[in-house]
């Protein structure tokens, strides 16, 4: 029976890993995706190629894969797929410390077949590579706490530096690295000094790349300060920037981001399967001890960061919570039970995710649909957008398009186009509404463009309006 379970698990995670290489998305459909894609041709943070904090290690990986793959968008997805493949090793080693070899393979199958993980990996975004490094980091930090060998203390320092150079928003994971340094301070002062210096120097590797690109420390300081200020006061979606009640954010984070999108992939079947399985888990609670403790601590801390400091309109920001929960859930279950139910769940994840990966690869995103629709217009016009214009720039659309965030500037610019047809998008209108401006009465709807909200929860629906003259 163990042999069957082992083969089943290997087939599942091998299939998930291989399929991702064939389904890398060819579309740069969002502002961030365009930033990353353009960075492969010319790395320039001041030109938003990419935006701050620069993601130097992610872009470097994309540049290397771009040497072999012509499409720059798919180059980033393939790099993510390579990193996701590598993550299977720390996933196995983490689980193997708590459960048998067969059970550890089942844990890898559950984590690698996660549908939302596959979607993130096949997109030209830094989350896929960052999540892979998170697993290497967790494995190394657990190992560092377990052993007294000084050499093992360096691995989490190096992996954390690599993680920060790929995705800075995962900085809260550094809390356990601080605990490791604190432990060394109380045990061996000389070890602490060496590890602390190594931590600083390793972070300077990717920071120095930003300093060199921007042109100096002063420029980097100004950009970083502006980024942090904007994140928490204007566009970042943090609790300090929105008026949404905290209980509402908590509910949306738990129900929409973690369960419905992160675990369920917008599949009622998968959500039902998971909730039923969770119910069985709760019934067995007295007989189950949750492992590993480091992941529980990291997941809890990141949950608070996601709730308070990030934009929960985007489920991709919440996926680290899902990944760590699935790991703890699977290991804790396998400590007491066989893995058949978990393998059935992993099989369901794979079955649901394959058509979604294919859909993401072949179906045209709403932003592309909008750009193409306007390209077919013959009359003289201008289109005002929120962030859609970034995609239009990338696609080199021949018509005039502009991005405005304030209503007064929009009105001022509109005066120069009295003889042109004026188009606006629903996202621009919604942005003005947040400023207390309602212009819907002056608009007439022209067209609606839709794509899967799982791939882009913000711009999956774009409504084009024409300004009434």
Pair (339, 453) in one structural domain: no
pLDDT at 132: 98
Q: Output DSSP code: residue 364.
A: P
pLDDT of 287: 67
142: closest CA among 291, 289, 294, 290? 294
CA distance 350 to 342: 12
Q: How far is CA 304 from the centre of its chain?
A: 17
Torsion sign over Cα 428, 367, 29, 268: positive
Task: Provide the pairing of β-strand 461-467 with 421-425.
Answer: antiparallel
Roughly what angle, to the nearest 10 degrees, separates helices 319-334 and 340-362? 160
CA distance 36 to 166: 12
| Residue 317 CB partners (closer than 8 Å, separation 6+) | 169, 257, 306, 310, 311
Pairing of strands 443-450, 400-403: unpaired
Asked whether the beta carbons of 79 and 59 are under 8 A apart, the reply is no
CA atoms within 13 A of residue 455's CA, in its CB half-sphere: 30
Is there a single domain that holds both residue 381 and residue 347? no
In this structure, the answer to whether residues 17 and 163 fall within a common structural domain is yes
396 and 337, same domain (yes or no): no
Peptide bond into 50 cis (omega under 30): yes
Query: Are both 247 and 266 inside the same structural domain?
Result: yes
Q: Among the three residues 303, 329, 361, which one is the final residue of a domain in this structure?
A: 361
The whole domain housing 382 covers: 366-467
Report which of 334, 327, 424 is spatially closest to residue 385, judged by C-alpha positions.
424
Q: Would you state the structure tokens that stand for residue 162, as one six-digit string? A: 């690599």
Check residue 234 and give its pLDDT.
64
Q: pTM of the entire structure?
A: 0.95
Is residue 226 located within the same domain as residue 118? Answer: yes
Q: What is the pLDDT along the chain (469 residues), one digit of tens a residue?
A: 889 999 999 999 999 999 999 999 999 999 999 999 999 999 999 999 999 999 999 999 999 999 999 999 999 999 999 999 999 999 999 999 999 999 999 999 999 999 999 999 999 999 999 999 999 999 999 999 998 888 999 999 999 999 999 999 999 999 999 999 999 998 888 999 999 999 999 999 999 999 999 989 998 898 888 887 776 666 666 777 777 899 999 999 999 999 999 999 999 999 999 999 999 888 877 666 777 889 999 999 999 999 999 989 999 999 999 999 999 999 999 988 889 999 999 999 999 999 999 999 999 999 999 999 999 998 899 999 999 999 999 999 999 999 988 888 998 998 888 889 999 999 999 888 888 888 878 889 999 999 999 999 999 999 999 988 7
Residues 342 and 396 in one domain: no
Sheet with 461-467, edge to edge strand ranges: 400-403, 381-385, 421-425, 461-467, 443-450
What is the CA angle 62-67-71, rounded to 5? Answer: 70
Instruction: Quote the CA–CA distance of 354 and 352 in Å, as a whole number.
Output: 6
User: Same structural domain for residues 155 and 273?
Assistant: yes
Instruction: Tell me, yes or no, whether 44 and 20 share the same domain.
Output: yes
Tell me: do 419 and 351 sit in the same domain. Answer: no
**3-state secondary structure (DSSP) of residue 464:** strand
Q: How many alpha carbons fall within 13 Å on the CB side of residue 354?
A: 12
Scan for tokens 């790929």, then name that residue.
166
Q: Which of 109, 118, 22 is nearest to 69 (CA)?
A: 22
Bridge partner list, 445: 465
**Matching residue, tokens 């938003």:** 48
Q: At what angle do helices 319-334 and 268-283 cross, to 10 degrees?
A: 50
Number of domains composing the chain:
2
Boundary-marking domain end, from 318, 339, 361? 361
Among 77, 45, 79, 43, which Cα is nearest to 61's?
79
Q: Which residue has the tokens 């917008």?
A: 266
Cα(396)–Cα(423) distance, integer angstroms = 18
Q: Give the per-residue pLDDT at 243.
A: 77
Last residue of one domain, picked from the residues 361, 380, 404: 361
Same structural domain, 126 and 141: yes
| CB atoms near residue 245 (< 10 Å) | 10
CA angle 68, 74, 78 (to 5 degrees): 70
Same domain, 340 and 434: no
């Amino acid at each position: 029976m163990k042999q069957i379970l082992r083969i089943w698990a290997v087939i599942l995670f091998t299939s998930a890993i291989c399929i991702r290489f064939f389904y890398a998305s060819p579309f740069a459909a969002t502002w961030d995706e365009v930033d990353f894609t353009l960075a492969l041709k010319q790395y320039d943070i001041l030109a938003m190629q990419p935006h701050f904090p620069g993601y130097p290690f992610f872009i470097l990986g994309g540049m290397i894969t771009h040497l072999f793959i012509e499409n720059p968008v798919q180059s980033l997805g393939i790099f993510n797929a390579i990193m996701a493949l590598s993550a299977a090793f720390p996933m196995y080693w983490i689980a193997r410390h708590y459960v048998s070899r067969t059970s550890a393979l089942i844990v890898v199958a559950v984590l690698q077949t996660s549908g939302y993980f596959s979607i993130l990996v096949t997109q030209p975004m830094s989350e896929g590579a960052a999540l892979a490094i998170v697993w290497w980091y967790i494995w190394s930090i657990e190992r560092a706490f377990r052993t007294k060998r000084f050499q093992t203390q360096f691995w989490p320092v190096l992996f954390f530096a690599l993680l920060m150079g790929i995705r800075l928003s995962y900085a809260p994971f550094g809390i356990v690295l601080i605990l490791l340094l604190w432990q060394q301070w109380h045990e061996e002062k000389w070890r602490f000094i060496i590890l602390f210096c190594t931590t600083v120097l390793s972070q300077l590797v990717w920071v120095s790349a930003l300093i060199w690109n921007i042109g100096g420390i002063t420029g980097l300081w100004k950009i970083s300060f502006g980024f942090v200020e904007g994140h928490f006061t204007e566009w970042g979606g943090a609790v300090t920037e929105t008026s949404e009640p905290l209980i509402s954010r908590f509910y949306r984070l738990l129900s929409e981001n973690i369960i419905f999108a992160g675990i369920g992939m917008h599949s009622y079947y998968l959500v039902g399967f998971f909730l039923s399985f969770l119910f069985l888990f709760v019934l067995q609670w007295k007989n189950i001890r949750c492992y590993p403790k480091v992941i529980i601590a990291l997941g809890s801390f990141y949950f608070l960061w996601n709730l308070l400091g990030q934009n929960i309109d985007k489920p991709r920001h919440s996926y680290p919570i899902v990944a760590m929960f699935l790991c703890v859930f699977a290991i804790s279950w396998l400590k007491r039970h066989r893995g058949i139910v978990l393998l059935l769940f992993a099989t369901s994840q794979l079955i649901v995710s394959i058509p979604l990966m294919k859909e993401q690869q072949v179906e045209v995103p709403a932003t592309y649909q909008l750009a193409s629709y306007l390209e077919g217009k013959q009359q003289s016009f201008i289109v005002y957008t929120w962030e859609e214009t970034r995609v239009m720039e990338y696609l080199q659309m021949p018509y005039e398009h502009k991005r405005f965030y304030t209503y007064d500037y929009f009105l001022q610019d509109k005066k120069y186009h009295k003889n042109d047809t004026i188009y606006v998008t629903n996202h621009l209108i919604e942005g003005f509404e947040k400023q207390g401006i309602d212009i819907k009465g002056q608009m007439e709807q022209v067209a609606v463009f839709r794509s899967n909200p799982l791939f882009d929860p913000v711009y999956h629906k774009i409504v084009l309006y024409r300004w009434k003259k």
